[in-house]
């Protein structure tokens, strides 16, 4: 099977994030493989191990994303491709990324494409479905289980807490939800082997794309952190006094009624 | 890093300046180093830490399972050559894995004991047959190993072992008799490296398997900490060891025993550094949650002061550990496939001084950090549920095993004096030069960290001054003057910590600029402030003991003046508080 995984480098949102001059401070931030993409990599490796074939991980980003691609190679992926847009694109969005990825995947005869359900930084959940749409293949989002048998695929997907079982056929794009698997961490032999695996670097030119072709459709107006959680308030006094105070606070302070 | 012709010699930091480009720092890690670190860390956090309760209850089956899981990930194979089922990685990778498993207390000791002193004797001194037979299994975790040197009457004085080995009449087996005491991993080990005296005199190493007839184990020792590592005596009663299991040469067991301990001491320093970082992060977290007097404990300057001291020591430990790792790699990197035991022995002992410092400074940093972390937890630190009393208990053994810190301290100056006696170092002219430099007024250069580097040079000159005085006063009898040797050792340790921290910071400033290295500069200054006070105290005490009259007055005055001039490198109280706040924000050691 010819399997592709779409992978994004993102900062670790479990670490503290600092915003300065309207953008996120990258100095000192920890960068990781987007956790949902990590499920996708793991699943791709497992499917490859049982079905045969090859796993290629693809990332659109800058030079630094090479580290995350190497990690995916160390986990067991066979090849990696970095589409380096550092010099060409300043403000991309989900459209930009999907367009580039689709252009790259065009003609690659992918049987299965796996992506994360969302990226934990942008959180749009759009890239996977957009790529499928551009490639004109079906897609299934938020999957928690997948079994491949020849060209038929059986999938369980998470629908807001319930699950839904779907049968589909290859070629197909799926996006990974938490619970799909427990991603392995690379073994030391894996890490040393990854050094020798192919990592190809492309630029927009190589895909016959122009900056205009991929110009963002959205504009980021402002980036801000969620408000700091204030300490709670304990109301005191007779019950009916407390209720009255609560109602008045909900009205005047929380402004929810 | 690039190899240069001018290879660094062991202990040379004691008498000459180091070329900054020859100092390896954590900032020089490759992507592979970083990935190895992440894997080892994840292994500990996901597989080991959740079972801490069971490990404390000495569930040794679990320890074995975890070691095998570690084996599956390659975490036991870093120091075994590729052709024998290992990975043949560098000593920096070894240090990284050692650091990461260090936070896991008893498990970490079992793990490191196995990969280091229990396996390395075969890696470096085994025959091809021995390597092929044992190394692949030790690499995968199928076999676990132990190292048996200590005996009831031979602890620090390890070479006085009473265990004997006698070749039987047919020449097929050695027959071993004796008892080895306090043997780590004994309960679940498959191979035991045993040292015994052939014909009662020739100290020799053997590979003994657990099922060889005549080997039995004593009861599990009830110990203070590191409970996850089994500790038992190993009893040899007419134990039949096939002649081909003799390791190295008859009468050359000390070359194996003592040299492997050099790497063990380096590794112990790595483990202590990992545990210190873990401890500090617990202190940072707890003090921000705990409120007294209406504020978080972390808001009190006294708390910040403690946190900064801990971070400074950790920065120094990290700097000197990875510097030493690279020195060891320089010495040993090319020797995985060598069978020239003499050369291997020589290279393994080249950096004995540096390895002893790793052991002493690392273990004392952990003791200090564990103690302060417990203190910052107040009563909670004393109560099991908070997991801090365990760090405290687990820490203590590190100052005792792999050579007590006293034995390691004694080794530091003795090593140098031996070199001087052999004429390898012209100590006398170095001492004279040092005294001259102390009396001159220095002109600082325009390169970064000029004052800091000058302070390091002064500490070196103070060491050399005192070494000269010691030699003058005692001559060859110096080896018996332990008070003087301890003082010199502490000066040497002070010098290595200060220099490693400053040079690491210098390399960072040159590469990334001052702004991006601000935290490192501040940490280096924290280290240097303590180093200078220590150096002044130590060298004045030594001078008082070694001289008298006018000379004493002159020299103590000189030391006082020199050290007082250097105070400007220390960090202001406000800057220290800021440094603490930064650490609180991160909730862990950063630099
Ligand atoms: C939990 C645990 C695990 C261990 N694991 C192993 C193992 O796997 N393999 C192994 O071989 N051993 C092991 N040991 C033994 C350990 O290495 C020894 O305990 C250590 O070397 C000290 O020896 P000792 O206990 O006989 O103390 P001693 O040598 O009796 O020392 C007692 C005190 O005297 C001091 N002293 C001794 N000689 C001198 C001197 N010349 N000058 C000044 N002071 C001196 C020491 O510094 C120490 O403070 C282990 C010990 C423990 C507790
Ligand atoms: C085994 C045991 C027996 C005990 N027995 C008794 C008993 O019989 N009766 C009883 O009443 N209590 C008892 N205690 C409680 C004991 O007295 C407290 O644990 C102790 O006073 C510390 O208080 P704390 O644990 O709340 O720590 P905290 O007050 O939270 O202190 C935590 C850390 O913050 C530091 N700190 C706190 N305030 C400041 C400040 N303003 N400035 C700088 N640093 C600060 C502390 O020095 C400490 O390092 C016992 C505790 C233990 C563990």
Q: What domain count does chain A have?
A: 2
Is A221 among the domain residues? no
Closest protein CA for atom 2 of ligand 2: B379
> Given CA atoms B389, B319, B351, B130 in this order, what sign does their dihedral have?
positive
Collect all residues from B whose CB is shorter than 8 A from any CB in A. 31-32, 34-36, 38-39, 42-43, 72-75, 77-78, 87, 89, 93, 516, 585-586, 590
A211-215, A252-256, B48-52, B218-222, range with the lowest pLDDT: A252-256
Is B310 among the domain residues? yes
Do B232 and B277 lie in one domain? The reply is no
User: Which of B297, B370, B386 for a ligand 2 pocket mutation test, highest count of atoms within 8 Å of Cβ?
Assistant: B297
Residue B227: helix, strand or coil by DSSP?
coil
Is B587 among the domain residues? no
Which among A74, A187, A194 is the nearest to B72, CB-wise? A187
Cβ of B59 below 6 Å from ligand 1: no
- Min distance B514 CA to chain A CA atoms (Å): 14
Helix axes B405-421, B427-439, angle to 10 degrees: 100
Closest protein CA for atom 13 of ligand 2: B379
Contact A88, A204 (CB under 8 A): yes
Ordered per-residue pLDDT tens for chain B, 591 residues: 444 445 789 999 999 999 999 999 999 999 999 999 999 999 999 999 999 999 999 999 999 999 999 999 999 999 999 999 999 999 999 999 999 999 999 999 999 999 999 999 999 999 999 999 999 999 999 999 999 999 999 999 999 999 999 999 999 999 999 999 999 999 999 999 999 999 999 999 999 999 999 999 999 999 999 999 999 999 999 999 999 999 999 999 999 999 999 999 999 999 999 999 999 999 999 999 999 999 999 999 999 999 999 999 999 999 999 999 999 999 999 999 898 999 999 999 999 999 999 999 999 999 999 999 999 999 999 999 999 999 999 999 999 999 999 999 999 999 999 888 888 889 999 999 999 999 988 889 999 999 999 999 999 999 999 999 999 999 889 999 999 999 999 999 999 999 999 999 999 999 999 999 999 999 999 999 999 999 999 999 999 999 999 999 999 999 999 999 888 888 999 999 999 999 999 999 999
Do A87 and A206 lie in one domain? The reply is yes
CA distances from B315 to A168, B276, B308, B411, B519 (A): 56, 11, 10, 25, 10
> Given CA atoms B385, B391, B396, B397 in this order, what sign does their dihedral have?
positive
Do B193 and B85 lie in one domain? The reply is no
- Min distance B32 CA to chain A CA atoms (Å): 6
User: Which of B404, B482, B489 for a ligand 1 pocket mutation test, highest count of atoms within 8 Å of Cβ?
Assistant: B404
Do A59 and A134 lie in one domain? The reply is yes
Interface test with B, best of A9, A35, A188, A225 (most B CBs within 10 A): A188
A31/A68 Cα distance (integer angstroms) = 8
A16 in reach of chain B (CB within 8 A): yes
Task: From B360, B286, B280, B266, select the one nearest B315 (Cα to Cα).
Answer: B280
B350/B354 Cα distance (integer angstroms) = 9
Instruction: Name every chain A residue with its beta carbon within 8 A of the beta carbon of B72.
Output: 187
- Radius of gyration, alpha carbons of chain A: 22
Is B585 among the domain residues? no
Per-residue b/e over A219-236, b at no fewer than 16 CB within 10 Å?
eeeeeeeeeeeeeeeeee
Contact partners, residue B194, CB within 8 Å, separation at least 6: B148, B163, B176, B180, B205, B206, B207, B208, B234, B236, B241
> Do the Cβ atoms of B89 and A185 come within 8 Å?
no
| Closest ligand to residue B411's CA | 1
- What is the CATH classification number for the domain harbouring B490? 1.20.140.10
Nearest CA in chain B to A70: B31
Do A117 and A169 lie in one domain? The reply is yes
B385/B381 Cα distance (integer angstroms) = 9
The residue assigned the tokens 């280096």 is B524
Angle at Cα B409 formed by Cα B425 and Cα B8, nearest 5°?
Answer: 35
Cβ of B148 below 6 Å from ligand 1: yes
**What's the CA-to-centroid distance between B232 and ligand 1, angstroms?**
15
Average pLDDT over residues A232-254: 89
- What is the CATH classification number for the domain harbouring B70? 1.10.540.10
Average pLDDT over residues A23-49: 91
For residue B45, the 8-state DSSP code is I
For residue B486, the 8-state DSSP code is H
Q: Can you tell me which atom of ligand 2 is nearest the CA of B297?
A: 34
pLDDT of residue B6: 58
Domain hosting residue B48, numbered range: 12-144
Instruction: Name every chain B residue with its beta carbon within 8 A of the beta carbon of A195.
Output: 32
Do A37 and A97 lie in one domain? The reply is yes
Do B327 and B230 lie in one domain? The reply is no
- What is the CATH classification number for the domain harbouring A197? 3.40.50.620
B46/B118 Cα distance (integer angstroms) = 26
Q: Can you tell me which atom of ligand 1 is nearest the CA of B223?
A: 1
- Radius of gyration, alpha carbons of chain B: 24
Do A168 and A247 lie in one domain? The reply is no
Do B420 and B550 lie in one domain? The reply is yes
**What's the CA-to-centroid distance between B401 and ligand 1, angstroms?**
6
Do B378 and B276 lie in one domain? The reply is yes
- Note the pLDDT tens digit of each residue in A121-138: 888 899 999 999 999 999
pLDDT of residue A257: 81
- Give the catalytic positions of B in this structure: 402
Is B580 among the domain residues? no
> Do the Cβ atoms of B77 and A27 come within 8 Å?
no
For residue A13, the 8-state DSSP code is T
Residue A152: helix, strand or coil by DSSP?
strand
A172/A140 Cα distance (integer angstroms) = 8
Nearest CA in chain A to B519: A28
Instruction: Name every chain A residue with its beta carbon within 8 A of the beta carbon of B42.
Output: 185
Instruction: Name every chain A residue with its beta carbon within 8 A of the beta carbon of B281.
Output: none
Is B586 among the domain residues? no
Instruction: Name every chain B residue with its beta carbon within 8 A of the beta carbon of A192.
Output: 32, 87, 89
Domain hosting residue A78, numbered range: 2-214
Contact A78, A55 (CB under 8 A): yes
Nearest CA in chain A to B31: A67
Closest protein CA for atom 7 of ligand 1: B183
Is A223 among the domain residues? no
How many CA atoms lie within 13 Å of B299's alpha carbon, on the beta-carbon side? 8
Is A132 among the domain residues? yes
Cβ of B182 below 6 Å from ligand 1: yes
Using omega within 30 degrees of 0 as the cis cutoff, is the peptide bond preceding A171 cis? yes
Which among B36, B43, B586 is the nearest to A191, CB-wise? B36
B288/B300 Cα distance (integer angstroms) = 10
Do B282 and B216 lie in one domain? The reply is no
Cβ of B514 below 6 Å from ligand 1: no
The alpha helices in B440-588, defined as continuous H runs, are 450-474, 482-512, 518-546, 549-564, 573-586
Q: What domain count does chain B have?
A: 4
Do B137 and B157 lie in one domain? The reply is no
A187/A197 Cα distance (integer angstroms) = 15
Is A219 among the domain residues? no
**What's the CA-to-centroid distance between B154 and ligand 1, angstroms?**
8
Average pLDDT over residues A224-235: 82
Instruction: Examine the pLDDT at A72 and tell me if it is beyond 60.
Output: yes
Do A143 and A59 lie in one domain? The reply is yes
CA B119 to mean position of chain CA atoms: 18
Do B323 and B442 lie in one domain? The reply is no
Q: So what's the ipTM on this one?
A: 0.91
Do B91 and B179 lie in one domain? The reply is no
Is B233 among the domain residues? yes
Do B193 and B297 lie in one domain? The reply is no
- A19 vs B587, which has greater pLDDT? B587
Do B563 and B423 lie in one domain? The reply is yes
Q: How far apart are the first and last CA of chain A?
A: 56
Task: From B31, B72, B38, B65, select the one nearest B51 (Cα to Cα).
Answer: B65
Last residue of a domain, one of B121, B144, B167: B144
Closest protein CA for atom 31 of ligand 1: B156
Do B261 and B353 lie in one domain? The reply is yes
Do A200 and A232 lie in one domain? The reply is no
Do A208 and A232 lie in one domain? The reply is no
Closest protein CA for atom 35 of ligand 2: B376
Q: Can you tell me which atom of ligand 1 is nearest the CA of B148?
A: 11
Instruction: Name every chain A residue with its beta carbon within 8 A of the beta carbon of B89.
Output: 188, 192
């Amino acid at each position: 099977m010819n399997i592709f995984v779409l992978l994004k480098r993102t900062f670790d949102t479990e670490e503290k994030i600092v915003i300065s001059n309207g953008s996120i401070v990258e100095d000192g931030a920890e960068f990781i493989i987007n956790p949902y993409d990590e499920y996708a990599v793991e699943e791709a490796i497992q499917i490859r191990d049982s079905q045969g074939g090859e796993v290629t991980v693809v990332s659109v980003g800058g030079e630094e994303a090479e580290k995350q691609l190497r990690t995916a190679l160390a986990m067991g992926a066979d090849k990696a491709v970095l589409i380096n847009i550092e010099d060409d694109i300043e403000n991309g969005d989900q459209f930009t990324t999907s367009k580039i990825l689709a252009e790259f995947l065009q003609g690659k005869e992918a049987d299965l494409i796996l992506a994360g359900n969302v990226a934990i930084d942008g959180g749009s959940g759009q890239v996977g479905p957009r790529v499928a749409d551009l490639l004109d293949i079906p897609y299934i989002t938020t999957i928690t289980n997948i079994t491949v048998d020849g060209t038929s695929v059986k999938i369980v997907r998470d629908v807001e807490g319930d699950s839904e079982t779907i049968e589909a056929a290859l070629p197909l794009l799926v996006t990974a939800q938490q619970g799909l698997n427990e991603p392995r961490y690379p073994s030391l032999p894996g890490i040393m082997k990854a050094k020798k695996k192919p990592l190809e670097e492309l630029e927009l030119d190589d895909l016959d794309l122009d900056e205009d072709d991929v110009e963002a459709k959205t504009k980021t107006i402002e980036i801000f952190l969620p408000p700091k959680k204030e300490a709670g308030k304990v109301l005191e006094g007779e019950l009916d006094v407390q209720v009255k105070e609560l109602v008045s606070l909900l009205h005047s302070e929380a402004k929810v009624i | 890093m690039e190899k240069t012709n001018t290879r660094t010699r062991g202990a040379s930091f004691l008498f000459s300046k180091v070329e900054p480009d020859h100092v390896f720092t954590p900032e020089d890690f490759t992507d592979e180093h970083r990935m190895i670190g992440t894997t080892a860390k994840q292994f500990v956090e996901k597989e080991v830490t959740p079972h801490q309760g069971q490990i404390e209850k000495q569930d040794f089956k679990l320890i074995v399972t975890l070691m095998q899981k570690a084996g599956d990930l390659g975490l036991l194979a870093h120091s075994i050559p590729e052709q024998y089922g290992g990975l043949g990685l560098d000593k920096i990778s070894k240090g990284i894995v050692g650091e990461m498993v260090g936070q896991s207390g008893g498990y970490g000791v079992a793990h490191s004991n196995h990969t280091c002193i229990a396996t390395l004797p075969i890696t470096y001194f085994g025959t091809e047959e021995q390597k092929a037979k044992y190394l692949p299994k030790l690499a995968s975790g199928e076999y676990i190993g132990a190292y048996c040197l200590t005996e009831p009457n031979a602890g620090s004085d390890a070479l006085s072992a009473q265990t004997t080995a006698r070749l039987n009449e047919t020449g097929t087996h050695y027959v071993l008799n004796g008892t080895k005491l306090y043997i780590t991993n004994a309960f679940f080990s498959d191979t035991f490296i045993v040292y015994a005296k052939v014909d009662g005199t020739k100290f020799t190493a053997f590979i003994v398997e657990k099922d060889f007839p005549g080997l039995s184990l004593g009861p599990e020792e009830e110990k203070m900490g590191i409970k996850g590592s089994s500790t038992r005596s190993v009893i040899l009663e007419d134990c039949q060891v096939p002649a081909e299991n003799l390791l190295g040469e008859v009468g050359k067991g000390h070359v194996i025993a003592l040299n492997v301990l050099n790497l063990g001491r380096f590794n112990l320093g790595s483990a202590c550094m990992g545990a210190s970082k873990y401890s500090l992060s617990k202190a940072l977290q707890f003090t921000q949650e705990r409120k007294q007097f209406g504020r978080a404990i972390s808001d009190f300057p006294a708390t910040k002061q403690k946190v900064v001291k801990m971070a400074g020591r950790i920065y120094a430990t990290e700097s000197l550990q990875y510097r030493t790792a690279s020195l060891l790699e320089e010495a040993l990197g090319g020797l995985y496939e060598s069978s020239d035991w003499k050369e291997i022995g020589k290279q393994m002992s080249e950096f004995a001084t540096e390895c002893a410092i790793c052991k002493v400074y690392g273990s004392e940093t952990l003791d200090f950090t564990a103690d302060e972390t417990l203190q910052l937890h107040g009563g909670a630190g004393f109560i099991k549920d908070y997991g801090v009393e365990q760090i405290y208990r687990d820490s203590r053994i590190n100052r005792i095993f792999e050579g007590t810190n006293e034995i390691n301290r004694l080794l530091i100056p003795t090593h140098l004096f031996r070199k001087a006696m052999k004429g390898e170092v012209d100590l006398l002219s170095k001492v004279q030069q040092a005294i001259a430099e102390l009396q001159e007024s220095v002109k600082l250069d325009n390169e970064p960290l000029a004052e800091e580097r000058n302070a390091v040079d002064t500490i070196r000159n103070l060491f050399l001054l005192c070494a000269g005085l010691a030699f003058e006063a005692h001559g060859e009898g110096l080896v018996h003057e332990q008070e003087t040797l301890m003082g010199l050792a502490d000066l040497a340790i002070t010098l290595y910590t200060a220099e490693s921290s400053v040079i690491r910071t210098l390399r960072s400033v040159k590469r990334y600029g001052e702004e991006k290295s601000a935290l490192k500069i501040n940490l280096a200054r924290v280290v240097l402030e303590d180093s200078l006070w220590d150096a002044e105290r130590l060298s004045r005490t030594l001078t008082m003991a070694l001289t008298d009259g006018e000379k004493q007055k002159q020299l103590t005055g000189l030391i006082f003046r020199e050290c007082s001039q250097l105070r400007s490198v220390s960090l202001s109280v406000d800057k220290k508080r800021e440094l603490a706040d930064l650490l609180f924000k991160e909730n862990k050691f950063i630099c």
